[in-house]
Amino acid sequence: MNQHQREHIATVMAHLSEPARWLARSPQEQLIGDSWQRCVTHHGLEPGRMQEARILPWQQLREHRQRMEEFRHIAHHGLTQLYQQIAAAGYVLLLTDASGITVDYLGDAHAEVSLRRAGLFLGAEWTEAVAGTCAVGTALATGRALTVHQTDHFDATHIPLTCSAVPLFDPEGQLQAILDISALSSPQPRASQHLALQLAQVWAARIENAWFAHRHQNNWTLQLSAGAPFVGGSPEFLIAFDDRGLLAGHNHRGQCLLEGELGLSAPPPGDKSALLGMPIERLFNTTLDCLPQWLAGGQPATLDQARSGDKLFVTAVAPLRPARRAAHASADRHAPCGVADRPAAHVSADLHAAREGAVLHAARGVANRPAAHACAELPAPLAALCGGDAALHQQLQRAARLLSASLNLVVQGETGSGKEYFARAFHQASDRRARPFIAVNCAAIPAQLIESELFGHLPGSFSGAGSKARAGLIQAADGGTLFLDEIGDMPLEMQTRLLRVLAEKEVLPVGGTRPVRVDIRVISASHHRLEQRVEQGHFRADLFWRLQGARVTLPALRDRSDLDWLIDTLLDGKAELAPAARRCVQQHRWPGNLRELRNALDYASAMSLNGRIEPADLPDTLQMSGQGIASAQIFPRAAAAHDLVMNSATSGASQQGPLSYAGAADHPAAPATGHAGASGHGAAAACSGQKNPPGLPPEAQELEQHLHAARWNHSAVARLLGISRMTLYRRMQRYGIRSPLHRS
């Protein structure tokens, strides 16, 4: 314990002994003081008893990650984009579940030892009960976003850290996750972290909205904003209604809006919203049958709140797969929505027609995808992987002939090229389909745990083994298929044990003396060339020949000829790509292959307002690809720091701190582009191959009108549209819009 820690402990104890003198402090300090009190009275912590960060064992962490798997997938692209903005400033990114367990993490691999020791790592538990006052734990306890900076922490172990955390709520109003930006060290003033907190809030809202869109794609959604129409930006409030016109979900801002309208108090963070099930008429002066008139793409419209009469700008999004309503569902609903004078049966017909039209419109890309006739002779699970690419078709034909054989397979391919997709499809096409398919990532399991994970263990066979026997993953795959991903990273001692399993068809649990018979087919995958690993002495040659009964090589996405088919298959009618956006996707190099493509399309679908993905909805990496910039060159550390400053415009931040760079954000260099017909051309032109757009489309004209009205104040227009200035500049560049100053 150092002197700084001793002084901190004395400060905490003084506060706990005289809490009244803290009552007049700021709301932030009051939050911290209340948390210190909870640490003692609710959790039994002592200021003088310092505890190192707690990291969960892999078995427990895996359960938490599996429960959050779908949410993590939706959130992943947003987390990556945010980390690219903050990494240059020395920050790490944590995503925890509602239990405070870190289920996703992005940080500097070179600082891994220090980050793990500090608890800024995968599997770390950040609750007030374990870690005392901390950003994640206090956000979980209060449901509020906050920064816990250095000596705000209760436990003196954590006082070097600065952490800013924001709760993420599910569409039912329950706290689902925490997004946290942390650093091992920072300047002393808490104000230095204002921008970090605001960035976390911006991206938490985006992730929350993407999750909402994913969960409620089959319900009617109202996108609402209190300010000017959110052209090209994100709506503030999202509210979903089922086919009976009852509220089915909302984002957190939407919940706060409606609770304020009805005079309801916010529920505790763990409770569901009291708004669920309320009819639309109680909340707004409208009915479900009126929603088709507000489908995206029409004129900006307003909607009145039922109680206060306050007006909100509104756009409606139709469900992709609407449920059929009962014939009487709308018979007693009437509202001034332009169709109320007609019989109720006609109103319902209009509603169904609008819904079905929206579904057909969104599904048009799937309907028009090229037929994969060349793959038709393959078993259905394998044929589903093929869109007509000749190289892939050849590999799948070879695999199909191996289905009835008992050979093990090795699947080669770049990271993200679909090795596990192939393994699952092969299993489903084989006669083992009724038995388990067990996937194991050999690189993700800690070396000290991989033995017990694969082979199982007997009670008390090692420290932490527990009092019950546990079957391993190999035994769990008995009769089915064991997929060993990243087999090239398996430790040599484990390779020896796996070799015995393959040779003897039996597995010996840790601590056991009696082997257990198993019948498995092993499909192994690696982005390494296993022959090279053998030559380098990192992989056993005898195991290599046991595993490689046959080899399947999957082509990289950039080499496949069926990219359009893949795009439409992954979108699955949830959205469609505008031609300019499709050209951007086609020109990208896809270093992350199918995984990157899937994440990018999920992100773009969530960002699109009306189910039509425009270039501006795509991730920055794809927009840059449209400008001919290689994705590997997009995020050098200096550029990441510059982008961080520019993106601060989203939250209107102006505070001084290590992320704010006073003055730099207010006067960025204007884009060196020309107007239509001038020398420069924008991203859309680069994507489309047109040198000069023949004329400005309506959305570009609207953007130019906003710029004229704001006297070309880029910051004001970005705030008006709810986008960052960098996004504004990209749109200006795409449409060739140039300020009068630069034109002259």
Task: Give the CA distances from residue 416 to residues 53, 382, 395, 556, in Å, rounded to whole numbers and listed in that order.
Answer: 33, 18, 17, 9
- CA torsion, points 154, 159, 161, 163, in degrees to nearest 10? 30
Confidence category of residue 228, pLDDT binned at 50, 70, 90: low
| Per-residue pLDDT reduced to its tens digit, 452-475 | 888 887 876 655 555 577 788 999
CATH topology of domain 671-744: Arc Repressor Mutant, subunit A (1.10.10)
Q: How far apart are the first and last CA of the chain?
A: 65
Burial class, 696, CB count within 10 angstroms (exposed 0-12 / middle 13-18 / buried 19+): middle
Buried b (16+ CB within 10 A) or exposed e, 616-644: bbbbbbbbbbbbeeebeebbeeeebbbbb
Least confident of 8-17, 112-121, 150-159: 8-17
Domain boundaries, the chain: 3-208, 216-357, 405-555, 671-744
pLDDT at 284 over 60: yes
How many alpha carbons lie under 13 Å from residue 264 in its C-beta half-sphere? 16
Cα gap 201→197, rounded to integer Å: 6
Task: Return the pLDDT at 376.
Answer: 63
CA angle 425/71/583 to nearest 5° reads 70
Task: Return the pLDDT at 172.
Answer: 92
Task: Return the pLDDT at 739.
Answer: 67
Higher-scoring residue by pLDDT: 370, 424: 424
Average of per-residue pLDDT across 60-68: 89
Task: Return the pLDDT at 77.
Answer: 84
Cα gap 50→3, rounded to integer Å: 14
Please name the residue that has the structure tokens 């016109």.
245
Distance of CA 635 to the CA centre of its chain: 19
- Architecture of the domain whose range is 405-555: 3-Layer(aba) Sandwich (3.40)
Average of per-residue pLDDT across 203-217: 92
Confidence category of residue 296, pLDDT binned at 50, 70, 90: low
pLDDT at 24 over 70: no
| Per-residue pLDDT reduced to its tens digit, 645-704 | 333 333 333 333 333 323 333 333 333 333 333 333 344 344 443 333 445 676 677 788
| Per-residue pLDDT reduced to its tens digit, 355-402 | 333 333 333 333 333 434 456 678 989 998 988 888 999 999 999 999
Task: Return the pLDDT at 659.
Answer: 39
pLDDT at 415 over 60: yes
Task: Return the pLDDT at 94.
Answer: 96
Determine the CATH number of domain 3-208: 3.30.450.40
Higher-scoring residue by pLDDT: 645, 48: 48
pLDDT at 638 over 60: no
Cα gap 412→415, rounded to integer Å: 9
Task: Return the pLDDT at 264.
Answer: 86
Paired tokens of 243 = 């086919």
Cα gap 685→581, rounded to integer Å: 11
pLDDT over 70 percentage in the chain: 76
pLDDT at 225 over 90: no
